[in-house]
Every structure is written in structure tokens, then in C-alpha cells.
Chains A and B, each alone.
Chain A
Amino acid sequence: MKQVNFDQLALQLDEVKQQVQTKVGQEDANYIRKVIVWQRVYEWSGRILLMLGFWQPLLWVVGVLSLAIGKILDNMEIGHNVMHGQYDWMNDKFINSRAYEWDIACDGSSWNRVHNYEHHTYTNIIGKDRDFGYGLLRLSNDFRWRVKNLWQFITYVLLSVLFQWGVSYHEMAAERVFFGKKKDNRDNKVSHAELKKRFFSKGAKQLVKDYIIFPLLAGPLFLWVFCGNLIANLLRNLWTSTIIFCGHFTEHVHTFTEEECKNESKGQWYYRQALGSSNLKGRTWFHILTGHLSFQIEHHLFPDLPAKRYPEIAPKVQQIFQQHGIHYNTGGFWRQYGSVLKRIIRYSFP
């Protein structure tokens, strides 16, 4: 690791967090409730408009987009952030990390266990953070090149299209659960049987809901609703996958070895989070639709601060990084996404 005054870095970033924490309150509670209201509005407008497609096909298109926005809000700004514990302090019976379950194929508690623990604690440590490349893509020289990497761009496209299923499969460490792949020092906090049950149960619920119950409720408009749900899910999958890839797999994102991170101090942990993430510039609506993961750096530094506070702290974080000579990886969507694609293609080859 680079020579940075890690103790000072930790002190400065802790101070930023504390400053914001004193402000967290009514405004944040009102905000998340407002987002939930808008999510319900988009979702239900979408579902109703899908059925009006037989009368005016344009309404069906609007319905698909509306439902997709509803699903994106549920997944990103509400589900991801609430399940991170960002709103646990509200003591709300439903808006908390224990109770909230999102509207995607991945079981919330499985995600919570793997994402919140493995990914956020061991961010970009090769061998410990399974999210780096999701075990499918070779995105650095830390991994040995294999022939299958030659077509990893196609694998990436397929993963994006089926992202909710990919996440579900990945979070349960399916290669271990289904195929018995061994890993040293593996700590099974949940039994394989339980993981399988959750995987199939949540996945089945999503399939039945979107492709049987809602289409059946539409009666003769079964296909309109079936296709609308399919496309809305596809749009949500593509969006979330793209945003998440931009947060961790841009060109300048670093990886770390287990050796480097042994006995890591708080300051070193912050440093790793900083170099393991990248931000996206954009307007307010864009940040909301990304669940504020466009501020991936701030999210990784302070994962349980309400995400709407990230834009407020970003300039302070950037200033602290500058003072310590740490690269603050940010850029416009197309630039960052371009560098993700470049990275996927670059490491397709030895």
C-alpha cells in the first residue's frame, strides 16, 4: 500500500461521518418515505397502463417504462439502501434492514449476508471479495487467464440481461451449494439446504408474481402484461448491472491481496474502499435511480449513512483524498462505462 498518513485519513473521514450523522433525522425519514410513495406510484401506474396497451400501444410502452422505474427504485434507492441499515435508526416497523425484502429474485437475507459482510468488509481483496468479477469475469491479472475468458464479453452481456438471477445465484455461492466446489477455511453460517430453499422459494415467488399472477389477473390481456413485466425486469437488470459495474470495474479501480490487508487499520480500510470504488457524475434524478451508487466511493466509506447524504459529503471526501494524494475516481457515465467495457475486453486476453 502507498505511504499515506492512515491515522490522519481515518480521523478526517470519521469526522466527516460524524458531522453528517448529527444532521440525519426528519429530512431523511421524510425522504425515504417519499421515495417509497413514488415507487408505489410508478409500479402501480405501470401495471395499470400495461393493460391499456390493447387500446393504445403507446400507453403500454409508458407502462413498461413506469414499471421499470418502479422496480429500479425498489431495487436501488429503497431496497439496497434500507437493507444496508441506512434507515434502521428510524425504528420503523417496515423500513429497516431486518424487515425489508426487495422485489428481485435474490433473497434479501442471503444478499445481506454476502454483500454487506464479504463485499463491504473485504472490498476488492482477491480471494475474499467474490464480487470482483462475480467468479465469471477476469478483470485483472490477479486471475489466471483461461480460454473461457475469450468470450467473457458475451458472458458479461448475458449476466447483465439476467442480472437479478446472477445476483441470486452468486450470493448463495451456488457453485459450492449446487456443485460442491470446495474452499479452504469456509465458514458456513447457513446450511446448504437452507440456501437452496431460499434461492428457489424467492425465485419462484418472483416468477409466479410477474409471469403468472399479474398476467392472469389481466385476463385476455395476459400477453400484454406478461411481455410488459418481462421487459420491465430486463430494463431493471440492465440498469442495475451497468451501475454496479461502473462502481467497481472501471479502469483505475485497484485490487488488493490478502497479504497486503493483514492487520489493516481503520485508515487502511478507508484507503482500500477509496481505491476499490468509482463514482459517476450526473443529475439528481440520475443519482436517485442509481440508489446513489453513483457515489460508490462514499457508499463504501460509509455504507450505513443514508445515501441521499452522499452528494453532500462527496466534496469533503474529495478534498481529503486530494490532501493525501489519493485518486478520487469519478467521471461521466459514458466515460466510466466505456472504461468498464474496455476492462472486460482487455482481460479477455492473456
Chain B
Amino acid sequence: MQNISRFISKNLFHHKDLTGYFEPVLQVFKPSWRSGYFRAQVKSIRVLCENALKITLKPERKWPIHTAGQHISLTTEQQGRLISRVFTIASGAKKLKETGLIDLVIRTHDKGNFTPYLGELAMNSWVNISEPMGEFIFDEQSNHTTLLAGGSGITPFIAMLDDLQANTQNHIHLLYYAKPNGHLMVEVLEKFMTALPNFSFELLHRSGHGSFTKYVSVEHTEELLVCGPEEMFVEAGKFCKSRQIPIRAEHFQAIRPTQSVNEAARFKVKLNHGDLEVSNQDSLLSEFQSHNKPVTYGCGMGICHQCQCLKKKGIVRDIRDGSLSDNSEELIQLCVTQAVTDLELEL
């Protein structure tokens, strides 16, 4: 049936699918309705601290129930532009079943392209979410689990603890690293400690407490679950390998320009057919040509869009006005852009 619909859509309406052809019409009746996405209504936005928000969403009914620890891609329209970011759900499936709501705890960045605008979302407005994704979930068969969280990496653990039964036999100890006074949802953790007799936690910060390795009880850890920045993930991986402790991890890596664009540097470009390294001093088109990569091009001045390609990841600079792109998926023109970070492109 789907194939017939696609065939009709492609041949009669020149769209990949029929929903795409009617999308703007459907949006008149259902705001933010988008083919391939789920809708969710903003139910509350609470400021947790200076740079963290808790957003409560009510996903539409057909949204599949998530498993604690999974993440979603949140898409909002900002100044007409659709921008997506991935966030772990900070509430359990139990809450969703009881109230129809999910929570997202989001660290905001003043100079970001996405998070500074989340606080401006109107109550009851609609956003888009993906289906729940990821396999970072809790193993209830384990007897002793150590959780290691860094910054906003606390969110999957909040969801996991939220779903745990009070009579769980698993002894869980959470090591939570954040900047001094930057720990999120501490009152929720305290509630969990009251409700779950086998749960305990420590609030730590790198400068005062040093590495997590001295806080992990090797003999009482059957599994280590890690969610935090790249460095924490790498360190935990080495630690577990040397102690032969099973590890499951989810890490996040904020992609930002690492240096001034005027400073010469080279970046990796992952393409759909092979990778290469490019300089940030020339346009991507010139770099590709110098590497003999077959690429379609035209005017070389950003007018004809012949060298357009899909940037899946990374940041580029528009040579014409110096503006930096977002890190998410978007169309770029190779002739007027330079790499500012590592990139993933689909030519």
C-alpha cells in the first residue's frame, strides 16, 4: 500500500510521499504537523538554574512509549528555520503512561543557535520529536551498578531511577560530576534516595574531587553506566578495560569551532564515498578539486547552487559574509564555504 502511495505521489505530485505534498495544507489544521515526525505540545518550561531548563512535553498519542535512558531528536522552528538537537528524556515510561508527559532537561548555551530560544517557546505550542532512539538502558538483572554522570548527562539516569521499583534488588550508586553548584535535579535525586533504599549518590566536581576512579568500588560494580562528555567517556572506557568491568556509555560531544577561522588548520571531511582532509583557508570546492574529488560545480560565486550538497554534521563558514553555520543537517554550497570543524557531507 505504501509503495502504491509513493508511486502515485512521485508520478502525479512530484513528491517523495503524499504527506509531503499535502504537508502545508495539513499544517493549517494541525500546527507543526510534519511528515516523518511526531508532534508534541509544550506543557511547561521551568528554569532549573541560570543555564538549565526543564521542558515538559505532551507527545501525540501515537508516539511509541520510550524506555528509560533513550533519547529523542527535538525539532523546533526558529525564525522559519527548522533546527534539531538530540536530548535524552529525563523522565521514565511510568510517568508517560500515567500523565502522558515526558521531561527534557536542557543545558542552555547563550551563544547557541538552538537552546537560547527554547525558553521562548509558548505554552501549548507544538514542536516535533522523533521516535525514542538508543540502547542506553538499564539492566535490572545486575546486582551492583555504578552510574557515572557528567553535567546534563544526569538525564538518562533520572529517567532510569524514575522507572525503578522501590523493591529493586540492584544496589545503585551514582557519581555525579558537574561544576560546583552546577548539579541539576538534586532534589529529585534526594527523593529517589528516600524512595529507593538501595540507591545512593555523591555530588562531585572535578576540581575539588579529582577523577571518578577513586570513587568506584571495583568489587561492588558489576556494570558501569556512563553518560557525560567525551573526556569522561574516554577515561571511563580505559578504567573499565583495565579493571575488566562491563561498561555501557552514552556520550555527547559539543561541536564548536576550536580556533579562530583566520588560523590555518586542517579538518576531516567524511563523504559518502571516502574521506579527505581539507584546509580551512580555501573553499571546500577548491579543496575538493585539489584532491581530485569528482564534484559538480558552476559559477563559483554562490549563485547557481550547482555545487550544493547536504551537510550532515559540522560547522562551515560562509566566505561571503563570514557567518558560521549551525552544526545540524542543512544544505550548503561548496564554492562559498570553508570548513571550521570536522564535517560529514553527502555529495
Contact = CB atoms under 8 A, between A and B. Distances in A.
Interface in B271-306: 296, 298-299, 301-306
Interface stretch (B8-16, B235-243, B247-255): B8-16
Interface stretch (A24-32, A241-249, A276-284, A325-333): A24-32
Interface string B74-110: 0001011111000000000000000000000000000
Contact of A102 (B14, B35, B302, B331): B14
Interface in A196-217: 205, 208-209, 213
A25 B79 contact: yes
A27 B25 contact: no
A85 B302 CA distance: 11
Contacts of A113: 298, 306
Interface string A10-35: 00000000100100111111100110
A108 B296 CA distance: 16
Interface string A77-96: 00000001100111111101
B20 interface: yes
A98 B304 contact: no
A4 interface: no
B208 interface: no
A91 B329 contact: yes
A93 B36 contact: yes
Contact of A213 (B12, B77, B81, B321): B12
Contact of A27 (B80, B302, B310, B330): B80
B27 interface: yes
Contacts of A110: none
**Interface size for chain A: under 10, 10 to 19, 20 to 34, or 35 or more residues?**
35 or more
A303 interface: yes
Interface in A129-144: none
A121 B298 contact: yes
Contacts of A36: 24-25
A117 interface: yes
Nearest to B306: A117
Contact of B298 (A84, A89, A116): A116
Interface string B298-327: 110111111010100000000001000000
Contacts of B12: 205, 209, 213
A97 interface: yes
B305 A96 contact: no
Given A40-B22, A98-B331, A120 B299 contact: yes
B28 interface: yes
A18 B321 CA distance: 9
Given A90-B81, A117-B299, A112 B305 contact: yes
Contact of B331 (A97, A101, A208, A269): A97
Contacts of B11: 205, 208-209
B23 A94 contact: yes
Contacts of A103: 14
B330 A304 contact: no
Contacts of B331: 85, 88, 91, 96-98
Nearest to A190: B296
B83 A121 contact: no
A169 to B, nearest CB: 19
A92 B34 CA distance: 9
A116 B304 contact: yes
Interface string A25-64: 1111110011011001100000000000000000000000
Contacts of B34: 93
A99 B9 CA distance: 13
Interface string A271-294: 000000000000000000000000
B6 to A, nearest CB: 14
A214 B166 CA distance: 64
A94 B80 contact: no
Contacts of A27: 80
Nearest to B34: A93
A43 B20 CA distance: 16
Contacts of A98: 308, 310, 331
Interface of B: 11-12, 14-16, 20-25, 27-28, 34-36, 77, 79-83, 296, 298-299, 301-306, 308, 310, 321, 328-331
Given A30-B80, A103-B14, A116-B298, 13 more contacts: A26-B79, A29-B80, A36-B25, A40-B24, A88-B331, A89-B330, A90-B82, A99-B16, A101-B14, A102-B14, A116-B305, A116-B306, A304-B302
